[in-house]
Amino acid sequence: MAATFYDFRRRTTTVLSALLFFAVLAFGATDPWAFAVVACTMFVLAAAWAVRIVRQPYPAAFSWFYAPLAAVAGAGLIQMTLDRTASSYRTAGELGWWLVYCTFFALLLNVLGDISLRRDVQRRLAYLGGLVSFAAILQWVFSPQAAYGLRRAPGADLFGPFVDAETFAFLIELVFPSALLLAFRDSERKLSLFASCTAMVAAIGVSGSLVGQGLLALEFLVTLVAATYLAARTMSRRTWRPQSLLTALGAIAIAVVLFVGLSSDVRQRLTQGFEPVDTPGVFVLTRSDVLRTSWQLFQQQPTLGHGLGAFGPAFSSAVPRQDGFHWEHGHNDPVELAVEIGLAGIVAQALMLALILLAARGREMRAWVGLVMPLAVVWGHSWVRSPLRTPALVLVALTVLALLAARSDRSARTAAQA
C-alpha cells in the first residue's frame, strides 16, 4: 500500500530533523565534507518531493518568506554570472549554501502545515539544545582543548561542537524560549524538556559568554513572565496574583544584576581590538574601524557588492597588512551582508524583519515569545558576531522561521490523507 502524503511529510520531517542534528553536531557544518552530506541529502530529498508531486498533485505551500532568501541567492548568482566578485571560489561556495538554505526552508514549509508535525519539530529543537549543551559541559570538564575529545583547533576557544562560546550561545538563544514554553505546556514530556532547559542554562553559565548569558537572562525573564501569564488562564485570580508578582520581581532583579554587569562588557567590546598582537608597530583594528572600512567598501560597490561570501578578500584589500592576522569576516552580519551583495543585502534584511512582524501579527503570545523573540535576539546579537558563517545556525534559524511562517492549510490536510 502506497504511503499517504501525511506519511511522506512525516518521514520528510524526520529526515530534516536528523539533518539538523547532524549539521549542529558536525562542528556546525563548517567543513566541506559536512556541506557535501547536507547538500546531497537536501537535493535528493527535493527530487523525491518533485517525483511525488508529479505522480500525485499536492498544493505546495507558498510564502513571501521565500523572497528575502531568493534575493540573497539571486544576488550571488548574478555576481557569478557577471564576474563581479572579489573571490569567485568563495562566492560559488556561499551560493551553494544559500541554495541549500532555500531548499531546506521550502521543504519545511511544506511539511509543517500539520500541527502535530510542528509540535514534533519543536520538541526536537528542545532536545537538540539539551543534547548539545550536555555535550558542551562534558567537553568543558574533560577536554576543553578538543571537541568530543578528538578534534583540536589551534587558536580557537572551543565550546561544544562550535569554534567558541559565542557561536554556541546563538544556538541556545534560538531554541531556549520555545523549549521552556513547551516544558510548561507538555505534561507528558515535562521532565525531559525541563532537563534540556536546565542543561542549556548550565552550559551558557560555564561558557564564559557574557553577552550570551545576558541575552539568555532576557529570554528567560520574558518567557517566564509569559508562561506565568498563560498559566493564569487556568488558575484562580486569587492563587495567581502572589505567584506572578513574586516571579516577576525575582526575574527582574536577576536580569538587572546581569545586565548591569553586561553593559561594561559591551562597551569594552566596542573599543577593544579583535586579537592581541604583541608585535611592535602592528596596528590592531577595533570594531569601529571595521565599521568605517565596511562603509567605505559599501560605497565603492553599492549595487552588486563585492561578492557573496567574499568579505574577507574585499576587506583585506582595504586595510593595512597585519602580520599573523587575516580577516575572514567582520563580526557583524548585517553590515557584512551589505558589503557582500550591496543594496540587495539591506533590502533582504528589511523585508525579512517586516515579514516576521506581519506573520506574528494576530498570533498568540506563544508565537511572539517562542519564535519571534529568538529571531530578534539573534539578529541583534549578530551585530557583534557572525552566525551566518556557521551553516548549522542558519538551518536552526530557518527552522524557527518556518515554525512561525507555517500555516495549517485545510486543502493540504485533505490531500495529505489521500
Question: Is the predicted pLDDT of residue 234 greater than 80, yes or no?
Answer: no
CA 392 to CA 386: how far, in whole Å?
12
Average pLDDT, the chain: 82
User: Are the CB atoms for 124 and 178 separated by under 8 Å?
Assistant: no
- CB burial string 173-189: b at 16+ within 10 A, e below: bbbbbbbbbbbbbbeeb
Backbone CA torsion sign across 290, 145, 170, 211: negative
Beta-carbon count within 10 A of 2 CB: 10
Domain that holds residue 373: 5-416
Identify the pLDDT of residue 233: 67
Q: Tell me the per-residue pLDDT of 121-165, one tens digit each, with 9 for 90 and over.
A: 999 999 999 999 999 998 888 888 877 777 776 666 788 888 888
Q: Which residue has the cell 541556545?
A: 172
Question: Mean of the pLDDT values across residues 330-354?
Answer: 93
C-alpha to C-alpha distances, 354 to 103, 347, 387, nearest whole angstrom: 22, 10, 21
Q: Tell me the per-residue pLDDT of 306-341, one tens digit each, with 9 for 90 and over.
A: 999 999 888 887 776 554 455 677 788 999 999 999
Question: Is the predicted pLDDT of residue 407 greater than 90, yes or no?
Answer: no
User: Are the CB atoms for 376 and 177 separated by under 8 Å?
Assistant: no
Distance of CA 50 to the CA centre of its chain: 28
CA 98 to CA 350: how far, in whole Å?
18
Question: Is the predicted pLDDT of residue 239 greater than 80, yes or no?
Answer: no
CA 161 to CA 181: how far, in whole Å?
26
Distance of CA 109 to the CA centre of its chain: 17
* pLDDT over 70 percentage in the chain: 80
What's the structural domain count of the chain? 1
List alpha helices for 208-236, DSSP H. Answer: 210-232
Identify the pLDDT of residue 326: 59
Distance of CA 91 to the CA centre of its chain: 21
Question: Mean of the pLDDT values across residues 11-18?
Answer: 95
Question: Is the predicted pLDDT of residue 413 greater than 80, yes or no?
Answer: no
Identify the pLDDT of residue 187: 66
Confidence of residue 381 (pLDDT cuts 50, 70, 90): very high
Question: Mean of the pLDDT values across residues 107-114?
Answer: 90
Question: Is the predicted pLDDT of residue 39 greater than 90, yes or no?
Answer: yes
Identify the pLDDT of residue 23: 96
Confidence of residue 414 (pLDDT cuts 50, 70, 90): very low
pTM of the model: 0.86
Q: Tell me the per-residue pLDDT of 169-186, one tens digit each, with 9 for 90 and over.
A: 999 999 999 999 998 886
Q: Tell me the per-residue pLDDT of 265-310, one tens digit each, with 9 for 90 and over.
A: 444 444 444 444 444 444 566 777 788 888 899 999 999 999 999 9
Identify the pLDDT of residue 122: 94
C-alpha to C-alpha distances, 169 to 40, 175, 203, 267, 380, nearest whole angstrom: 28, 10, 9, 19, 13
Q: Tell me the per-residue pLDDT of 189-221, one tens digit each, with 9 for 90 and over.
A: 778 888 899 899 889 988 888 888 889 989 998
Confidence of residue 401 (pLDDT cuts 50, 70, 90): very high
Question: Is the predicted pLDDT of residue 244 greater than 80, yes or no?
Answer: no
Question: Is the predicted pLDDT of residue 251 greater than 60, yes or no?
Answer: no
Identify the pLDDT of residue 185: 80
- β-bridge partners, 340: none
Question: Mean of the pLDDT values across residues 29-33?
Answer: 91
